[in-house]
A and B are shown apart, each in its own frame.
Chain A
Amino acid sequence: MKFLRMKPGHGEVLLAEGDVEVRDEEQRLVEAFREQLDQGMWAAVPTTAAAGRRAAQMVKSFDEVPRDAERVIFFPRAAGGR
């Protein structure tokens, strides 16, 4: 599983990578996830439905991330614009 974060001037940045089945790596992912949420990021998991329809699943905690997700994308929280 990869954690990516959108950043101005960078495109996406790889934050962390690990296997959720390996305890230490999962713990590292949990910490990285929490850190991003503490920084005010939103997290989404890109998904593909059975009919091929693409969507995203917004997740608010690591427990909500599907175990087989390949990546979680973090992006700044939405704010009302002008």
Chain B
Amino acid sequence: MLLALGATLIVIVALLWEVAAPAVAERVRGIRARRALVTGWEDVPGYDPGRERRAEQKARSLLKSCVNEEEWAMYRDLGFIRVWGRLAEAPEPGAEPAAECGAPYAYLVYPHKPIVCFLPQTRRLLNEYCVAFPDETRPYGSARLPDSDDVLAKWMALTGDERRLIGTANMHLPGRQVDPKAVRRDLWRLSQWERARLVRERRRAGSLPAS
């Protein structure tokens, strides 16, 4: 009796392990990757927070001068920029390959994190595109651009040659480095932010009474 129970228990544990092992391994990989993203600065010799802050301020000015007002406000308020995808449909015959033909997908561009592709209508996450812009001249020991320069580099590469950037990036399923819950929360924050912005603009235009 005991032997039969023991054998059954072993079979159940083995089956459960078979089912759970890939999910556990994937989760551990995600946690390790996220930890690797937030560490690193301490290991760079000669790291100067003041210098990095000044570099970041210059980078923010450059970013502000390149993107449109809405994108800048989005980055300032939310910490990321949404860039609409342009490769959704085949261009009309005779149109430029880069012509915008509807945009049923978009990207969230974060500093020093993978670019997240998603469907705006359903908020479904499609992929993570891991891409970096390492400057191997390492002027101060680090190849890492200031945060806003990293965002601007992604924005320029996406709006200028989306296909090349996506072709260069390593594609992963959502959740490898960026927590899908955090991304969904960011999409919700973005929708709230857009709604508030729309109300403000309508008030300014005089079509809504001030509350």
Measured CB to CB, the residues of A under 8 A from B are 4, 6-12, 39-40, 42, 44, 46, 52-58, 73, 75-82
Interface residues of B in 57-94 (CB under 8 A from A): 57-59, 61-62, 65-68, 71
Q: Is the CB of A11 within 8 A of B67?
A: no
What B residues does A39 contact at CB under 8 A? 137
Q: Is the CB of A11 within 8 A of B149?
A: yes
Q: Is the CB of A76 within 8 A of B133?
A: yes
What A residues does B136 contact at CB under 8 A? 40, 76
With an 8 A cutoff between CB atoms, is B181 at the interface? no
Provided the pairs A75-B149, A78-B169 are in contact, do residues A9 and B68 lie with their beta carbons within 8 angstroms?
Answer: no
Partner of A8 from the list B145, B155, B156 (CB cut-off 8 Å) is B145
State the majority secondary structure of interface residues on A.
strand
Q: Is the CB of A58 within 8 A of B139?
A: no
Measured CB to CB, the residues of B under 8 A from A are 33, 36, 48, 51-52, 54-59, 61-62, 65-68, 71, 114, 130-140, 142-146, 149, 152-153, 155-157, 159-161, 164-165, 168-170, 177
Give CA–CA (A28, B145) in the complex, Å: 27
Provided the pairs A11-B56, A55-B160, A56-B160 are in contact, do residues A76 and B153 lie with their beta carbons within 8 angstroms?
Answer: yes
How far is the CB of A7 from the nearest CB of chain B, in Å? 6
Q: Is the CB of B170 within 8 A of A54?
A: no
What A residues does B145 contact at CB under 8 A? 6-8, 75-76
Provided the pairs A58-B156, A78-B169, A81-B130 are in contact, do residues A9 and B114 lie with their beta carbons within 8 angstroms?
Answer: no
- Can you show 17 pairs from A to B with CB atoms below 8 A apart? A6-B135, A8-B144, A9-B51, A9-B139, A10-B58, A11-B54, A11-B56, A11-B58, A11-B146, A44-B157, A56-B157, A57-B160, A58-B164, A73-B62, A79-B131, A80-B131, A82-B130
Give CA–CA (A77, B155) in the complex, Å: 13
Give CA–CA (A77, B132) in the complex, Å: 8
